[in-house]
Every structure is written in structure tokens, then in C-alpha cells.
């Protein structure tokens, strides 16, 4: 089941302050304060958090 666009946007805003994607790859991510400590670990593969870019 997929979330509707407006619900997905709200969920993304709760996790991320900024997401930059270039050439279909995750370039930079900035988390909200609430999730920064959880997701900022060196062992986390952040590329799995974002699906493939659609061209």
C-alpha cells in the first residue's frame, strides 16, 4: 500500500529538513532534530532511504 502524495510529504517533513538528489543519487541529507541522532550514525547506508529518481 502506498501513501498518498500529501501524506508522504508530511512523513518526509517529519524526518528530513533537506534532501538533495543529483543524477539519481542521494547527494546530501539533513534530518530534523528529532531524527538526527538516530540516522546520523556512520554505519547507516543513507542511499537506501531514498528510492531511485524518476527521469
- Where do the domains of the chain lie? 5-41
- What pLDDT, on the 0 to 100 scale, is given for residue 47? 60
- What pLDDT, on the 0 to 100 scale, is given for residue 51? 61
Q: How far is CA 25 from CA 6, 12, 33, 37, 53, in A?
A: 23, 17, 24, 23, 7
- What pLDDT, on the 0 to 100 scale, is given for residue 24? 86
Grid cell listed for 25 = 543519487
The pTM (predicted TM-score) of the whole model is 0.57
**Which positions of the chain have pLDDT values less than 50?**
none
- What pLDDT, on the 0 to 100 scale, is given for residue 48? 60
- What pLDDT, on the 0 to 100 scale, is given for residue 16? 92
Short-list 23, 20, 33, CA closest to 49? 20
- What pLDDT, on the 0 to 100 scale, is given for residue 32? 92
Amino acid at each position: 500500500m502506498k501513501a498518498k502524495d500529501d501524506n508522504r510529504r508530511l512523513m518526509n517533513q517529519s524526518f528530513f529538513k533537506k534532501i538533495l538528489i543529483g543524477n539519481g543519487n542521494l547527494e546530501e541529507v539533513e534530518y530534523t532534530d528529532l531524527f538526527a541522532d538516530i540516522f546520523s550514525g556512520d554505519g547507516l547506508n543513507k542511499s537506501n532511504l531514498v528510492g531511485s529518481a524518476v527521469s
